Amino acid sequence: MELNIGAIFISNKILSGKETPRWMYREEPDNEGDSGWRVFAGDEDEDYLDDHNNFKLITADQLIAIDDSLKANLLAPYGFSFEKSDETNEWSIVDEPE
């Protein structure tokens, strides 16, 4: 079943298959069709983050195909951020809206 929440902004470090998602947050969308989700490997430096060519837009289903452990996170409202533990390999909430 397709999860139609809008486009997800993702680091090429993950898309290349070299790294896995470890950090994600949801902000108010930039435009219609944007889910507000931003997904990172967690080790991107400032120079990497500043270059928009280092990121792509994908669907929720494409992201779940990369790492299905984050599926439940994708329904969280704006303002949430999650981090995946290296020890337990589980997601935990880092920030949530007040």
Place 2 in a pLDDT band, splitting at 50, 70 and 90: low
Phi, psi for 18 (deg, rounded to 5): -80, -30
How high is the pLDDT of residue 3? Answer: 74
Residue 58 carries which DSSP code? E
Q: What is the mean pLDDT of residues 7-16?
A: 96
Q: What is the mean pLDDT of residues 42-60?
A: 96
**In 29-70, where does DSSP find H-type helix?**
46-50, 60-66
How high is the pLDDT of residue 98? Answer: 72
